Structure 1
């Protein structure tokens, strides 16, 4: 049920106030005042929905009272009631801040019409003001969301240029600060573990908080820590300060902001997890490329060694054969007996075969290394 509107009637003549009240009391709650000063006091006590104000009054005139009231209550509708109806008087009323002018003696239907128009105008203004507030709130909320989306997009672009765990951590903390939050982070990759806050390495207390987030029971990846929130996404553990999951104690705007922040930060962590996997894959690919290069170098080295060993064996055999031939030619001049010649030939042959045997052992080692290299090549 709509509340009855209240009117304050101000006039220094009791008879005028009685006639006004008689015409209006059926529709409105009526209060009366005999002077401009008492009208100000009555408004201070309880502001009416509309004020009907006489112009000529002892003490504070109607125009002066209007100026004083409008300075305090600019939205209060004021209808002047006066026998002075010239255009000059109406301009004075307008300059004082009045909203309408009712001549004396009043016509009841005109009185009701003017009051109704002013009250409707105020109601429409209030309704439009509320709609404007809602629209502005929607615009501001949309602007906030657009700005938050921009932070997420910037983070995605920054990740593409991150080629280390520390660079990924730096990009995340920049985005967190853009959202108005801070905390600490641990990244666990294939090569390394990075634990840090926005400025430096994690303190012992921060490490314990991250460990608590990681070891908390339950399948939820986003975990409430009183007024704070933890994110546990496999290789990424994040603790965000002053971001509560329970938003029941917050006002609507703060609760909405916190809810969006939870969603946005979760998206950042998911993107960061994917980037860590990509970094590990890049590192693995780089290591495989280095292994392939090493195998190629080793293969070339083994080929060179085998060629060198083959040339060495040929040279050794040739040198021993030449040595043996020279000794056989010298036997005639040395006057050696047949047993002595046979003994020297045997020594030469044994040493030749022993040296060639050593070289063959090296060849066997080369063959073994070659088989190892070929086997490794099948795994990459």
Structure 2
């Protein structure tokens, strides 16, 4: 049986702590402290599944607390959700820079709080499961980085594109190429069928999602823009946020400035290749959809032709049976001793029912004509 996750609440407001505890109790084991210093001390003594951290506190604020928590042994695996009334994108960027996973506004909404905690814990569990695979990938990336130069990374990425058959493979190839440049970030790939946002470990955190949303909303077409000491690339179908890639050259020596400039140019080349591949994947999927429609139209046409032939044969068989029935009845008149009027009435009944049956069966031809018109229209559009 799984142990109930223990969550550390950090806030200098006692009322807020009581409200948070009341919300979390039952599903989680909440514990609380009233300062950043106490939070760091407690995490040195105890292990927690997650820390819910207030930003505005006297003494050590939430950002510095998060930095110190992440610096503890194993602290990089401890998820932190910030809790603050500061909602500007600059505040979310600060939270992202110190390693936060999400940002919860004050006053908090209980269902939203529970949903965010569940999502962060689920992502962290998935990351732990993928840790072994990630180590292998990282080792392979580091070996490849030693073998190829900056231009070689772009060329290798272009070769990898031919083996990318879907957006997941394309995202992995982009992340691996960034790693060869010793860069890290999050990527969003957008198509008519939806979008996917990932970091090197798996799905983006909520905080990364909000930064990608900001990049996507602020630009149209191809654009590269600074976000503090980081850089955002928005190229329509590909949106990329790269950490610690500075567009500003202030305070850099010439060599570092040139290295940063080349890195931005190379990342832009990677994205341009990814954009072209996204267009190719979209065209391929559209072509497959069109081929499926054409195949369906062809099968429907064949089925309709077969139905028409069967209906015509059935009509002929029914007509023949009624003619034989009519003939047999007329031949039996000699032995039944019926009057002339009785014979005519009986013949009339048979003839009337035959015409009714043939009319009903003939209505199937109206359905055939209707389906035929639909098939014709479909053929005109494919």
Task: Please indicate the TM-score interval, normalised by the length of the shorter structure.
Answer: 0.5 to 0.7
Call closer, same or farther: CA 1:371–1:184 in 2, change over 3 Å: same
Note the C-alpha offset of 1:329.
0.7
Q: Map 1:172-211 to 2 at 5 A.
A: 172-211=174-213
Note the C-alpha offset of 1:218.
7.5
Hey, what's the Cα distance between the residues in 1 that align with 2:349 and 2:174?
79
Note the C-alpha offset of 1:340.
2.0
Q: Which residue of 1 aligns with 2:296?
A: 294
Call closer, same or farther: CA 1:298–1:219 in 2, change over 3 Å: closer
Within the candidate set 351, 359, 374, 1:349 is matched to 351
Note the C-alpha offset of 1:251.
2.2
The answer (yes or no) to whether the contact 2:222–2:236 under 8 Å persists in 1 is: no
Q: Which residue of 2 aligns with 1:224?
A: 226
Call closer, same or farther: CA 1:321–1:218 in 2, change over 3 Å: closer
Note the C-alpha offset of 1:217.
5.2
Q: Which residue of 1 aligns with 2:378?
A: 376
Hey, what's the Cα distance between the residues in 1 that align with 2:221 and 2:349?
82
Secondary structure at the counterpart of residue 372 of structure 1: helix
Q: Which residue of 2 aligns with 1:255?
A: 257
Bigger Cα displacement from structure 2, 324-333 vs 341-350:
341-350
Deviation string 1:323-368 (CA, Å, 9 cap, x unpaired) is: 0100011111111222222222222122211221122111111111
The answer (yes or no) to whether the contact 2:221–2:236 under 8 Å persists in 1 is: no
Please tell me whether Structure 1 or Structure 2 has the larger radius of gyration of its CA atoms: 1
Hey, what's the Cα distance between the residues in 2 that align with 1:271 and 1:217?
20
Q: Which residue of 2 aligns with 1:334?
A: 336
Q: Which residue of 2 aligns with 1:319?
A: 321
Secondary structure at the counterpart of residue 277 of structure 1: helix
Q: Which residue of 1 aligns with 2:173?
A: 171
Q: Which residue of 1 aligns with 2:14?
A: none
2:330 pairs with 1:365: no
Deviation string 1:259-295 (CA, Å, 9 cap, x unpaired) is: 1010000111111011111101001111111111111
Q: Which residue of 1 aligns with 2:97?
A: none
The answer (yes or no) to whether the contact 2:188–2:240 under 8 Å persists in 1 is: yes
Hey, what's the Cα distance between the residues in 2 that align with 1:378 and 1:219?
34
Note the C-alpha offset of 1:192.
2.6
Q: Map 1:1-380 to 2 at 5 A.
A: 147-216=149-218, 221-380=223-382
Root-mean-square deviation over aligned CA pairs: 1.9
The answer (yes or no) to whether the contact 2:221–2:235 under 8 Å persists in 1 is: no
Note the C-alpha offset of 1:208.
0.1
The alignment's TM-score, normalised by the length of structure 2, stands at: 0.60
Q: After the TM superposition, which segments of 4 or more aligned residues of structure 1 sit over 4 Å from their partners?
A: 217-220
Secondary structure at the counterpart of residue 247 of structure 1: coil
How many aligned positions are there? 238
Secondary structure at the counterpart of residue 202 of structure 2: coil
Secondary structure at the counterpart of residue 294 of structure 2: helix
Q: Which has the higher contact order (CA 8 A, sep 6+)?
A: 2
Secondary structure at the counterpart of residue 334 of structure 2: helix
The answer (yes or no) to whether the contact 2:212–2:239 under 8 Å persists in 1 is: yes
Q: Which residue of 2 aligns with 1:137?
A: none
Hey, what's the Cα distance between the residues in 1 that align with 2:207 and 2:288?
36
Bigger Cα displacement from structure 2, 241-250 vs 332-341:
332-341
Listed as ranges, the gaps of 5+ residues in structure 2 are 1-144
Bigger Cα displacement from structure 2, 213-222 vs 257-266:
213-222
Listed as ranges, the gaps of 5+ residues in structure 1 are 1-142
Secondary structure at the counterpart of residue 188 of structure 2: strand
Note the C-alpha offset of 1:172.
0.3
The answer (yes or no) to whether the contact 2:197–2:209 under 8 Å persists in 1 is: yes
Call closer, same or farther: CA 1:350–1:232 in 2, change over 3 Å: same
The answer (yes or no) to whether the contact 2:187–2:197 under 8 Å persists in 1 is: yes
